[in-house]
Structure 1
Amino acid sequence: MFTAFERMVAWRYLRARRGERFVSITAAFSLLGIALGVAALIIVLAVMNGFRQDLIGRIIGLNGHLTVAPASGRALPDWQALAERLGGLPGVEQAAPIVEGQVLLTGEGGGAAAGLVRGIAPEDLRDRPVIARGIRRGSLEQFGEDDTVVVGLRLAARMGLRLQDRLTLVLPQARGGDFSAAPRQRSLRVVAMFEIGMPEYDNRNLFVPLAAAQALFGLEGAASQIEIMVADPSQVAPVTAEVRQALAGRPLRVTDWQGANSSVYAAVVVERNVMFLILTLIVLVAAFNIISSLTMLVKDKGRDIAILRTMGAGSSAVLRIFLLCGATVGCGGTLIGFLLGLGIALNFDTLRAGMLALQGTPLFRPELLYLTQLPAVVDWREVAQVVGMGLGLSLLATLYPSWRAARIDPAQALRNG
C-alpha cells in the first residue's frame, strides 16, 4: 500500500531536526496519550470484570443461581422428587432443598441477635464452593451430626461465640393462633465459622441440617424452596427457561440470580460503562493531539510538499505520506498501550501484593478487606474492542490533515514560502 519512497519521507518528517522539535514533541505526547488511554482501559475493564465476577460469585454462591419456591404458602410439597427432576436438567449442577426463616439467636454468654437460618443437607453445603473455601474455624466434617450449626464469623464475634459453644435458636411466633403456645427453640453446637467477605451475609447467616430446620419451622416432610446451581452463572437465562418449561402448570415461582439481585447487577454494569466512557475520553483527546500535530506538520512542510508535487509526486502520494505519519503515531501508541495494559492486567496479583507491601497499612476497612483480593479478569473480546477503538480513532484523526496536505497548490505554496 505504501511505497518505499513514501515510507522514507514519512519517517524523515517524524524525526526531530533542528527547529522542528516542537512538532515531534507534540507527536510524542500524542503517542503517549493513546498508549496510556488504551492501557488504562484494558486494566480498568479487567479489574471491573474481576470485581463483578467476585461480587456476584459471593452473592449467588451463597444463595444459589436459581430458586424454585411455592407461589403461595410456605411449604413446597413433593420436594424430593422435584429436586431429583430438576437436578437432571441440562446445565444444572445441584438442586438443593432449603428451609429458610428468621429466628432470634441467644448465646451462652447472654448475647442476642437476629439471624437468618438456612436448613440444608450436609452434602449440599459441602458442595458450595463459596462456603467450603470460606471456612475460617472448625470444619464441615461435623456438620450434619445432631444439633450442629455453622455460623458467620462476624455473627460469632458479635455474640462472643467460640467453637463447640451452644447457640439457641428461638422462633417467637406462635403457630396455629394459640397465644398460649410456647415459642419453638433449639440448642445447637457451633462446629464451624465461615467468612465470604460480604458483611451482610457474615453477620446474619447460619446453616443448620435440613431436618433440624424442618422441625424448628414446623415443616416436617417439606421444604420452603429448592436452590439450583448451574454450570455457568452468566448463562443462567437458558437454564431458567428449561426449569420453567419443566415446571409448567405447577403453582411454583422461579427466580434467577439476575432478577433477585437486579439492583446490584445493574449498578455494577452502569459503573463499568461509565468508567469505559470516561477513559475513552483519554484516547479521544490523544486523537485530537494527532490532528493538531499533523496539521502543524503540514503547515511546516508546505514548501517541501510543493517541491514533491513539482517533482512528480501525485496528490495521492502526499496523502499516503501523511496518513503514514499519523498512523505511525496512533498505531504505535495503541500497540504500546495494548502491551502495557495486558502486562499489568495479567500480572495484577503480583503487582497488587507489591503495592500493599510498600503501603504498609491496610487500604480498606476490615469489612471491605475482600477488595484487596479482587482478581483481574481479562476478556479478550473487550481487549479487541479497545485496540480496535484505538486504531480506529487514530486513523480517523489522520484523514483531515492528510487531505489538506494533498490539496496544497504547489505554485501557491512556493510563492508563499
Structure 2
Amino acid sequence: MADAGGTRPFSGFEWMLAGRYLRTRRREGFVSVIAGFSFIGIMLGVATLIIVLSVMNGFRNELLSKIVGMNGHVFIAPIDRPLTDFAEVARTVEALPGVVRAVPTVEGQAFASSSVQGGGVLVRGVRPQDLAGLDQIAGNIVGGSLETFAEGEGVAVGARLASSLGLLPGDTITLISPRGATTPFGTAPRIKAYPIAAIYEIGMTEFDSAFVYMPLEEAQAYFNRAGDVTVVEVFLDDAEAVGAARAAIEGAVERPIFLSDWTQRNSSFFSALQVERNVMFIILTLIVLVAALNIVSGLIMLVKDKSADIAILRTMGATRGSVMRVFLITGASIGIVGTIAGLALGVVFTLNIQAIQDVIARITNQTLWDPTVRFLSEIPAEIDWAEVGAVLAMAMALSLLATLYPSWRAARLDPVEALRYG
C-alpha cells in the first residue's frame, strides 16, 4: 500500500535516489570512502567465516574418518574371562544390522629397530581378511602387497615409520617386546625380526609413523596370548549410531563384556575442536559487526550531508516513510552486495585452498603446512551449505539492523530546521 499522499513503498523513485547516494561524488568523497571500507569489511568478514568454518569442518570430518576408520566405532572387551571365543563373538556382531565388520585385535607396545635407528611402535594383530577389509589400509598401499601379508609372517607398516627406519618392502624390521618368555631369572624380552610385507600411507602422521600390523596368530604368539584377543573392534555404517549399536551388541553377545565407543575414547579431542570452532565463529563475527557499524557511521554522515536535499524532498511531498526507505536501501545495498561478494570469495578460496597454499609456499619458499607436527598431510576443507546460509543470514541481518537508526534519523529530520541551517 502506498503512503498517504506519497509514493508506493520501494518504488523506482526510492531506488533511484538510493543509487544516486551510492555513487561517488567529489563533495561526498569521504562518505564514499567509509561506504567502501564497510563493503570490504563485510566481504572479508563473510569470506573469512566461510573459509574458517569450512576448514574446521574438514578437520573434524577428516579426523573422524581416519581416527574412527582405523580404530572402529564400538569396542568389545572381555570381563571375568579372556576373549577366547572372539571368532564367535565377531560372527554374532557382524550379523547385526548396521554393522559392517567386527575385527578381533591383539594390541601391544614394542620397540621397532633397523640398521638405521629405532623407536616405539604400537603392534596390532589382525586377521588378514580383516586388514584387507579396512579401506584406510587396503586402499592406501604404497609399497609391497597385502597378499604377502596374508601368506606368512610379514608385517604392514606406515610410510613414515618405514622412511624413518630406512626400510623398503622385503627388508627386515626387528620388534622387541619387554614381555617375552618367562625364565627362572625372570621375564626375558622377546626379540624377533619380520619382513616388511606392505607399506601404507593414509596421510595421518599418528598412524603412518607408529603402527605395525601383524597377522593375528603371530601377534598372539608374540605377546603370549593364549588364543585370546585384546578387543573386538566393531565398524558401523553410521559412526553416529553408536548408541543403538551398543544396545544391540549387549543383547546379542551372550557373555560378560565391557563396551566402549569412539565418542568416549576421543571425547576430549573432538570437544576441544568444537569449542575452538565456536570461539572462532564468535571472534570472526566481530569483523562483520565492525563493518556493519561502519555502515551506521557512513549513513549518519550521509544524512547530515543530505539534510537540505531531504528537506526539499519533504516539502515536495515525500513522506517520512519514503525518506526512511531511501536510506534503508542505501545502507542495506552495501551490506547485501558485500555479503554476496564475501560468499563468492569464501567459496572460491575454500575450493582452491590447497592450490593457494602451494602457490604461497613456492613464493615464500617456506613450508606452510608441516605434516610432521600436525595430524594430517594437507589442509582439509569441506563446505557446509547450511552453515554458509546461516553466515549469510547473519551478515545480512546485521547490515539491515545497522541502517535502521540512520534511516530513522533521516525520516525524523525537520524540513524547516534543515533548510534554515543547511
Q: Is the structural similarity TM-score above 0.5?
A: yes
- The change in CA–CA distance for 1:148 and 1:201 in structure 2 (over 3 A counts) is same
TM-score by length of 2: 0.89
Query: Cα deviations across residues 235-267 of structure 1 (Å, max 9, x unaligned)?
Result: 244444444553588532222222211222122
Matched, 1:80 2:93: no
Identical aligned residues as a percent:
47
| Range 164-173 or range 312-321, more displaced | 164-173
Secondary structure, counterpart of 2:409 in structure 1: helix
- The change in CA–CA distance for 1:193 and 1:81 in structure 2 (over 3 A counts) is same
Shift of 1:344: 1.8
Amino acid at match of 1:206: V
Secondary structure, counterpart of 1:373 in structure 2: coil
* Matching residue within 253, 257, 265 for 1:252: 257
| Range 198-207 or range 359-368, more displaced | 359-368
**Which position in structure 1 is the counterpart of 2:327?**
322
- The change in CA–CA distance for 1:248 and 1:228 in structure 2 (over 3 A counts) is closer
Query: Cα deviations across residues 120-170 of structure 1 (Å, max 9, x unaligned)?
Result: 111221222222344332222211222111123333344444432333444
* Matching residue within 87, 109, 117 for 1:102: 109
Matched, 1:309 2:314: yes
- The answer on whether the counterparts of 1:90 and 1:239 sit within 8 Å (CA) in structure 2 is no
* Matching residue within 358, 377, 395 for 1:390: 395
Matched, 1:346 2:351: yes
**Which position in structure 1 is the counterpart of 2:199?**
193
| Range 363-372 or range 405-414, more displaced | 363-372
**Which position in structure 1 is the counterpart of 2:272?**
267
Query: Cα deviations across residues 82-131 of structure 1 (Å, max 9, x unaligned)?
Result: 21222233332221111111234454x38554332101111221222222
Secondary structure, counterpart of 1:130 in structure 2: helix
How far apart are the structure 2 equivalents of 1:177 and 1:139?
Answer: 38
Shift of 1:77: 3.8
CA RMSD of the aligned region, Å? 2.7
* Matching residue within 380, 384, 390 for 1:379: 384
How far apart are the structure 2 equivalents of 1:240 and 1:140?
Answer: 30
Matched, 1:64 2:93: no
- The answer on whether the counterparts of 1:151 and 1:194 sit within 8 Å (CA) in structure 2 is yes
* 1:12-411 to 2 correspondences below 5 Å: 12-71=20-79, 75-107=82-114, 109=115, 112-173=118-179, 183-184=189-190, 186-233=192-239, 235-243=240-248, 245-246=250-251, 250-365=255-370, 367-368=372-373, 373-411=378-416
| Range 243-252 or range 343-352, more displaced | 243-252
Query: Cα deviations across residues 47-81 of structure 1 (Å, max 9, x unaligned)?
Result: 222222223333223222222212466x3242222
Amino acid at match of 1:280: T
Shift of 1:184: 4.8
- The answer on whether the counterparts of 1:104 and 1:112 sit within 8 Å (CA) in structure 2 is yes
- The change in CA–CA distance for 1:18 and 1:364 in structure 2 (over 3 A counts) is closer
TM-score by length of 1: 0.90
- The answer on whether the counterparts of 2:73 and 2:242 sit within 8 Å (CA) in structure 1 is no
- The answer on whether the counterparts of 2:353 and 2:379 sit within 8 Å (CA) in structure 1 is no
- The answer on whether the counterparts of 1:54 and 1:374 sit within 8 Å (CA) in structure 2 is no
Amino acid at match of 1:212: E
